[in-house]
Copies of this chain bind each other. A is one copy, B any other.
């Protein structure tokens, strides 16, 4: 039923995968052993090479890319969503803080809390991976300037975290502490894939949905980020 398509589209054929652009870094005997190892299924971790990594079929996704690399641009997008909410409120002549108290259901978080939760997940997960204390965020503000400051503080903090520590945390045991004190155990990888990334996108999306529901004219690119 399915068939191979677009074979012409990937630049490098699979047969090339046993040679590596950095082979010349090794002596001839060492290279001979490397070739044997590669033929036996042994693969270098390309992220350790200083050279380019294009075309290496074993390059995957780093823990940093799947945490800081996702959270920072989407926190910036979230900041942009709030800016559009403020502009809408000014046009319609109402206090932008009204938006921050809106909810999609009586027992769901309001917009300010959705922003707060997005920041919390974006800060706590990378901090756990880096084994550093998360930055202390103030009590939740129900004003736009306070929320923008919270987003900026969150971005500044997670951008300051050491990439190597985060990248090394895939198999490390981490414990996410819920607000009720319960500690959920994860490996670093499972923290991101089964908890923090879905949580983060939940709260950013719900912030978008709330603003759309309130009448703010947003488009999908405001959520995805403009290229």
Contact = CB atoms under 8 A, between A and B. Distances in A.
Interface of A: 1-7, 9-11, 14, 26, 29-30, 33-34, 36-37, 41-45, 47-48, 53-63, 65-66, 69-70, 73-74, 104-105, 108, 127, 131-133, 135, 167-175, 189, 192-195, 197-199, 201-202, 205-206, 208-209, 212-213, 215, 220, 223-225
Copies of this chain assembled into the complex: 2
Closest 8 CB pairs of A and B: A201-B201, A57-B168, A205-B205, A43-B45, A10-B172, A2-B132, A61-B61, A105-B212
Nearest to A200: B201
A3 B206 contact: no
B41 A48 contact: yes
A133 B171 contact: no
A70 B70 CA distance: 15
Nearest to A216: B105
Contacts of A48: 41-43, 58
Given A131-B7, A198-B74, A213 B104 contact: yes
A187 to B, nearest CB: 9
A135 B1 CA distance: 8
11 contacts: A3-B132, A4-B132, A43-B48, A44-B44, A44-B45, A45-B58, A57-B167, A60-B60, A60-B62, A70-B197, A213-B213
Contacts of A66: 61, 66, 193
A201 to B, nearest CB: 4
